[in-house]
Structure 1
Amino acid sequence: MSANYIRVKCKNEGVYQYHVSYNPQIDSKFIRCRMINEHKAVIGETKAFDGALLFLPKKLPQENTILVSKRRSDGADITLTIKLIKVVPPEFCTQVYNILLRRVMSILELCQVGRYYYNPHTPSSVPQHKLEVWPGYITAIQEQEGGLMLLLDASHRVLRTETVLDVMQAVVRNNPKGFKDEITKLVLGNIVLTRYNNKTYKIDDLLWDKSPQSTFPASKTGQEISFVDYYKTNYNVTITDVEQPLLLHRPRAKRMPGESEAKQEFICLVPELCYMTGLSDAMRSDFRLMKDIASHTRVTPAQRQMAMKKFLDAVRNNKEANSQFVNWGLELDCNTIDMQGRLLPVENIHFDRYVARDVQNADWGRESSNNRCLVSVELKDWVVLATARDISKASGFIEMMSKVCPKMGIMIHSPKERKLVDDRTETFIRTLREVITPTTQMVVIICPTSRDDRYSAIKKLCCCEQPVASQVINAKTISQPQKMRSVTTKIALQINCKLGGELWAVEIPMKNVMIIGIDVYHDVAKGKRSIAGFVASMNKACTRYYSRCYFQGQNQEIIDGLKICLISALRKYHEVNHCLPDKIVIYRDGVGDGQLRAVADYEVKQLHTCFAHFPNYNPNMALVIVQKRINTRLFLKGRNEMENPPPGSVMDHSITRRDWYDFFLVSQHVRQGTVSPTHYIVVHDGTGLTVDRMQRLTYKMTHLYYNWPGTVRVPAPCQYAHKLAYLVGQSIHKDFSEALSDRLFFL
């Protein structure tokens, strides 16, 4: 196997770290840096300096070097004392090396957009959607288990060829009365690109009382100049619309030379010269647009390798860029790292009376629709709601349900049908209140269009006020006769899960174990509070679950809610099994690298305090952090070119962390592009499971997500927790009824 890492060889023993003191003291970082730069003859051209600490690739002749600079304001002599502190080994120099990497990107004329760098000179045009795609790179020098390495990956940035002014004018045409509010909503918080200098800015405000004819003091002369004249003089750009409002960007406050406090600056931008970046929600929901973009951004493993080689060649062939590495004693390997990976065994998928063996590409879609569910729930009392326009589609759906359900072992009775007089949200809600009774198992709501407000209202009623399993279907989904059978089959399986059924299982060779999934959703609608979804298995096969959610208030730690959820889950487990679990394995999503140590040191201890609520109870517990948003890519070396590794591929050495117990797992199969592995970091393990058994358990759990007849990127409890937190945070914004907690009602 291979990965997108290039070994970095360091010829020096490391980096020399010095402390620079000034006498008399100089407060301004700007002046301190200027004075250091006056002594290149002594310290050399190659350095990294933050105003106090100086990093050099070579050792100065003296341990204490005394230099003198003149202060420009009064001509006073300032003594600089450069004192050697220590030699920093290469593995601890990544911060310095990444500063050097940013310089290399600048030399290669790559433009920083967000965190990564892109090439503005070779864009791919998507003219039918007024878009273009810039190719670029993700880079980071990191210390891995196998030594110092450069993580390198191909990236793409979608930019629009329409300006902010174009967007504004379109809004004014469509909404001449309330255009200001709509424009503010569309533009505020977005990143824009100014092509005259290839810089990006976040829009913090709109200045409706300013225009390009407004003036500001020029930085060099202090004389007032209009924006029109400024852009013509400095960039030879002519602004055509002199009435447009201006955009405001607030950069991070900086302390200027000679000033004791940081000063907030403002940058005014002209909409006509600002290009939107990224995609709007409307664009993301446009299937054709996303497909056209994917043809540029979805690259195969072989194409990724070519992009990496192109970057390495560009560095080597550019004398100035290459010298950045040479001057620090660094040398990049010519190729990506080669490693020996492992392939976990293919899992058998157990249905009621059938076992699917040797499943290809981790996909058992055909088997799931042609075999009886592991546990099916008889659907006796259910209601179908539809508008008059969609009532025929509802009848077709009911008829198809009666055809597909028996094959999957699901007994189904005829539902009550209700025809709605109109499609107003109030009509849906009023009718639901009328039809839901204590014996109702399921309500199926067929909506004419997709509307967030209607969906939220329905889910609030069915999850909180009158708890009942609910299935919302867009009428468009069941309007194509040729797709009706496959669509209805998926819905029938989903309904069975929501009623407490189980679709399939894999062999879990552990007794009395509880598997928990945790994920966090940030609810922007309610004061940016966070919602933690918590899902815990309740049986040996890990096919039945208990769910809770927790709302994290301001100045409140997420662990407080997780403790409440864990205690509730243990009580429920005891109620179901008449005993408590011997082992607990927690998969926690939504934790960044910066939080790992806090989770390992603090949260583990806090979770252990939950066991004191039960007499003489001390189970073995493991806490595994699940990271999906990573830049690591794994490749299988094929006969002629790089390929995607098959599901079950594990990498647990060389590119893993030196100071953590971690591994990468490819659990899913992709038909296009490059597969993304998931990074698992075991921050605590008291279970006694071997590394291989921990990896196999993790892989097994990726088979049990019932919304997809195949493996998923994360263990099923994590994916369930994500779905739960998303439903609560996006739609219902409050806790759901306890009556639904033992079913997967949120699928």
Structure 2
Amino acid sequence: MASSSGSKVGVEGSIPQSMTSRAPTYHLMARPAFGAEGRRIRLFANHFDVKLTMPDAVFYQYTITVTPHDVRDKNAAQSKVYGRKIVNRLFEIYSEELKNKRFVYDGERSLITIGPLPQNNFELTVVLEDSSARATAGGAGDGSAVGGDQKRSKRSGFMKTFTVAIKFVAVFPMRSIALALRGSEREDGQSALRVLDIILKQRQAERGYLVLRNCYFDGNHTHLVDVGGGVCGGRGFHSSFRTTNGGLSLNIDVSTTIIVKSGPVLEFLLANQNIQDPRRIDWEKAKRKLKNMKIKTIHNKREYKITGMSKLPCDMQTFSMKERNSKGETRTVEMTVYNFFQNIRKITLTRSASLPCLDVGKPQRPIYLPIELCHLLSLQRYTKGLSSQQGALLAERCRQTPHERMRLIADSLNDNRYDKDPLLNACGVSIDKRMTKLTGRVLNCPVLKAGNMEDCIPRNGRWNFVHKTLLEPCELLHDQWAIVNFSGRCDLRHLSRELIKCARNRGSNIEEPSVFLEEDREWMRSDPIVRVEKMFKKIEAKFTGPPRFILCVLPEKKTCDIYGPWKRKSLYQFGIVTQCIVPPKNIRDHYLTNVLLKINSKLSGINSLLSVECKRSIPLISQTPTMILAMDVSHGPPGSSFPSVAAVVGSRHWPLISRYRASVRIQSPKLEMIDSLYKPGENGDEGMLRDLLLDFYKTNGGMKPAQMIIFRDGVSESQFMEVLTVELNQIIKVFEHLGDTTMPKFTVIVAQKQHHTRFFLADSPENVPPGTVVDTTVVHPRNYDFYMYAHGGILGTSRPIHYNVLLDEIGFKPDDLQKLVHALSYVYQRSTSAVSMVAPVCYAHLAARQLSQCFDLSETSGDELPIRAGVPQLPELHEKVRSSMFFC
């Protein structure tokens, strides 16, 4: 691509309507070379070498279609549990017809055999005796449940009959894995790897483990930690085969998920809502929490899936049932669920009379069970969101030191005894029991510049401002700011004095505020929106115009329900920069310094810069106008239909790489690709990137970026090409829309945090030191990637960030790119420590999170935000704060 030399452009000039996008075709780039700079250290990786002793083995893939003879068995035919039973029974019954082939089944539609079946197509019949709990799920004939169709209970022996169609699809030779290890991009190599992963998955499913993709969890109580609310953190393990630069490996790691505590449903609801009296249960909330959970009844030991709840309590909810008199005549009568169990089934109900029943039927055929007879099954994943307290407790109780994690990984490998697995043996797979040894490199930490251009040299990824001042401190005059207090525990005058003292020690001129506002006690129990409205009326009465800054004291951290309405009011309506705090009892200088760093950043100050920024000596960046973008998409809690939040931050004031501006949009739920980078509308481009580009032009005297470095967070390997074909092409369209005939050079890097590769020092129980980079042995055999520890881990085992370079038109040398990524972890203005991921991505996280707190993004938010194409639309940030780092 041709590069602009930084020429000036007409920002508001005419836009060629006929211009068409160049729509280039991209491919994932190959690794150009390996890095060499840095101090060498010896490491272990949680990868185990895999040898293929039978490379000529061939996998044959077939699709399986299961059709029930009775339409009422449709759900069973689609169930993974039933699917495995059906396929296992199929190979038992028809072992001769299928030539006793070893098989792998993914629980859905794929069947893989080692070697071919005698025919390409089969259609076979399988009969299963239904010993499961849902044998009479529709009837009351045995008192298992009430409501629905009683005829179902008459099905003799509860036999289920299925037709199983098997159809040949493809061949995957094991030899293709060897080609993938040499850098081949053939799809059958990845398909063969997926087969090996399915073998692992099938093994754990047969052992009764909870299977979540490539993670496995058992019901061992020693692996569960209570985090409150009726849920536990369940410790399991992850295992997957990986093609690496050093050969085929098995990646094993410790994994954690949230599991519902087994036991009485009623006890779960009381714990989940943190109450003791069942009469205080919020049943609408309970209905949402329980939906799709599996239960077992204590009176007949049958299993069901919860589909809803009765609208009436147990002693008022009726259903129709047939009864026969002494003459043999039948009639239909209405009976309450409570009376049925008490009088017909002779089961004493002590707590259910006034409580709703659980519905385990279908919308048109409800089936009711008294709640006290129902127990939640073990090993059920909890897919709803955790509170901040639960999240903190989970992190604390599931944390392991590097030494402990190494031991747990070794135990997982030994416990699974992969060397005894007949399918792996049949494939000729041999797994080494020793962790992979490799060499890492520790890069020198970058030097920072503080006030008076004084050097600030980090140690172990940390630094401080003791005896130092801020590089560009802000100024707040007496009548420009206020302190407001929603907490009755804080002395505002004392807080003000201490903050001003700290600011002056850091070179910032902050005068005592003209206004101190306390919340009226009468409003403390009101709705948060009302409390915020009342406080802003007080502010308006004290100031002739909006103040420049407000320090807001909240009563509690993170969970405070005032935060969202407060930020919405200040940022969107009044255009006021605010900083929310929950000060500790003993306010120390370190705490106030961290608060000051955030305030200074929001008010356009600069806390520190990289020395190479000041000297204009960043390779390929300081010499050519360069813009850095970071993009992220934040999704709602698992299982929710909340809209997703897309955030993009862009650098400004080139050649600086420490100042950013944000643009945020709401998009469809679970949509990972950002669809509004370029969005043509009635008034031109209404997308996210346009304002960031115009801001770059403005802060650089009309200079456009000749280079653009794009960091993308949150996408998986399967989505790498979409980043290039969907998102990058949108960015190109924005430039074309602004009238550019030449495009900047692009470098696109994906940053991944959600992976399972960990590194351990070979000669120390401590965490890997900050600055460690690994780009050999366990990296991709062809693609351009590397792992980096930019931060210094204190608690638990540090996790590296996996950087994948998809495109590099700028042409960085590997060492220069790795040093740039390392340096970008030191420009995070909110703290005095390096962050694990580059600072621009962290800012995108913050911007997305703050927006989701400002607005209720649940399905009830339609009355609060305008809707377009079914997605809520955000109002514009107030022009006074639009270009600030309000998200800091």
Distance in 2, Cα, partners of 1:139 & 1:520: 27
* 1:355-386 superposed Cα distances (whole Å, 9 cap, x missing partner): 4455221011xx23541111111111433344
Query: Which stretches in structure 2 are left out of the alignment for 5+ residues?
Result: 1-42, 69-76, 78-82, 128-158, 178-188, 322-335, 342-346, 525-530, 680-686, 857-873
Distance in 1, Cα, partners of 2:544 & 2:782: 57
**Which letter maps to 2:777?**
S
Change in Cα spacing, 1:425 to 1:638, as seen in structure 2 (3 Å) is same
1:58 Cα deviation after fit: 4.3
2:309 counterpart residue number: 206
1:485 counterpart residue number: 589
Change in Cα spacing, 1:26 to 1:309, as seen in structure 2 (3 Å) is closer
2:886 counterpart residue number: 745
Of the structure 1 ranges 374-383 and 612-621, higher mean CA displacement relative to structure 2 is found in: 612-621
1:165 Cα deviation after fit: 0.8
Q: 1:376 aligns with which of 473, 488, 496?
A: 473
Residue 536 (structure 1) aligned with residue 650 (structure 2): yes
1:401 counterpart residue number: 499
Change in Cα spacing, 1:391 to 1:399, as seen in structure 2 (3 Å) is farther
Query: Quick check: 2:630–2:840 contact (8 Å CA) kept in 1?
Result: yes
Distance in 1, Cα, partners of 2:560 & 2:396: 30
1:460 counterpart residue number: 568
Distance in 2, Cα, partners of 1:84 & 1:124: 40
1:694 counterpart residue number: 817
Distance in 2, Cα, partners of 1:546 & 1:153: 37
1:570 Cα deviation after fit: 2.1
**Which letter maps to 1:692?**
D
1:314 Cα deviation after fit: 1.8
Distance in 1, Cα, partners of 2:415 & 2:534: 63
1:311 counterpart residue number: 412
Distance in 2, Cα, partners of 1:11 & 1:267: 56
Q: Give runs of aligned pairs for residues 615-630 of structure 1, distance below 5 A.
A: 615-630=740-755
1:220 counterpart residue number: none
| Percent identity over paired residues | 20
Q: 2:840 aligns with which of 717, 722, 733?
A: 717
* 1:446-479 superposed Cα distances (whole Å, 9 cap, x missing partner): 23456644222221221011101112233xx24x
SS of equivalent to 1:123: helix
Change in Cα spacing, 1:106 to 1:587, as seen in structure 2 (3 Å) is same
1:44 counterpart residue number: 100
Change in Cα spacing, 1:139 to 1:703, as seen in structure 2 (3 Å) is same
Distance in 2, Cα, partners of 1:337 & 1:267: 55
Residue 87 (structure 1) aligned with residue 173 (structure 2): yes
Indicate the structure with greater helix content: 1
1:308 Cα deviation after fit: 1.8
2:152 counterpart residue number: none
1:495 counterpart residue number: 599
Distance in 2, Cα, partners of 1:326 & 1:701: 47
SS of equivalent to 2:748: strand
2:375 counterpart residue number: 273
Q: TM-score, normalised by structure 2?
A: 0.69
**Which letter maps to 1:444?**
L
2:609 counterpart residue number: 505
1:328 Cα deviation after fit: 2.5
1:684 Cα deviation after fit: 2.0
Of the structure 1 ranges 563-572 and 77-86, higher mean CA displacement relative to structure 2 is found in: 77-86
**Which letter maps to 1:580?**
K
Of the structure 1 ranges 565-574 and 679-688, higher mean CA displacement relative to structure 2 is found in: 565-574
1:315 Cα deviation after fit: 2.7
Distance in 1, Cα, partners of 2:440 & 2:489: 55
Change in Cα spacing, 1:314 to 1:416, as seen in structure 2 (3 Å) is same
**Which letter maps to 2:222?**
P
Residue 545 (structure 1) aligned with residue 545 (structure 2): no
Q: 1:10 aligns with which of 40, 52, 57?
A: 52
2:547 counterpart residue number: 440
1:501 Cα deviation after fit: 0.6
Higher relative contact order (CA 8 A, sep 6+): 2
Distance in 1, Cα, partners of 2:297 & 2:213: 15
Of the structure 1 ranges 578-587 and 200-209, higher mean CA displacement relative to structure 2 is found in: 200-209
Query: Quick check: 2:60–2:114 contact (8 Å CA) kept in 1?
Result: no
1:487 Cα deviation after fit: 2.2
Of the structure 1 ranges 719-728 and 436-445, higher mean CA displacement relative to structure 2 is found in: 436-445
1:144 Cα deviation after fit: 3.2
Query: Quick check: 1:195–1:273 contact (8 Å CA) kept in 2?
Result: yes
Change in Cα spacing, 1:357 to 1:449, as seen in structure 2 (3 Å) is closer
Query: Which stretches in structure 1 are left out of the alignment for 5+ residues?
Result: 218-225, 232-236, 254-262
1:647 Cα deviation after fit: 1.1
**Which letter maps to 2:376?**
C
Q: Give runs of aligned pairs for residues 628-639 of structure 1, distance below 5 A.
A: 628-639=753-764
1:736 counterpart residue number: 877
Distance in 1, Cα, partners of 2:285 & 2:413: 45
Distance in 1, Cα, partners of 2:631 & 2:227: 42
Change in Cα spacing, 1:189 to 1:738, as seen in structure 2 (3 Å) is farther
2:425 counterpart residue number: 326
Of the structure 1 ranges 668-677 and 150-159, higher mean CA displacement relative to structure 2 is found in: 150-159
Distance in 2, Cα, partners of 1:26 & 1:179: 41
2:32 counterpart residue number: none
Distance in 2, Cα, partners of 1:562 & 1:445: 36
Query: Quick check: 2:231–2:382 contact (8 Å CA) kept in 1?
Result: no
SS of equivalent to 1:517: strand
**Which letter maps to 1:305?**
M
Aligned residues: 702
1:651 counterpart residue number: 774
Of the structure 1 ranges 322-331 and 199-208, higher mean CA displacement relative to structure 2 is found in: 199-208
1:36 Cα deviation after fit: 5.3
2:630 counterpart residue number: 517
Distance in 2, Cα, partners of 1:216 & 1:635: 65
* 1:2-35 superposed Cα distances (whole Å, 9 cap, x missing partner): 222222222222553447799xx99678788865
Distance in 1, Cα, partners of 2:211 & 2:165: 38
Q: 1:180 aligns with which of 283, 299, 305?
A: 283
Query: Quick check: 1:520–1:590 contact (8 Å CA) kept in 2?
Result: yes
**Which letter maps to 1:560?**
S
SS of equivalent to 1:339: strand
Residue 110 (structure 1) aligned with residue 225 (structure 2): no
Query: Quick check: 1:190–1:203 contact (8 Å CA) kept in 2?
Result: yes
1:152 Cα deviation after fit: 0.9
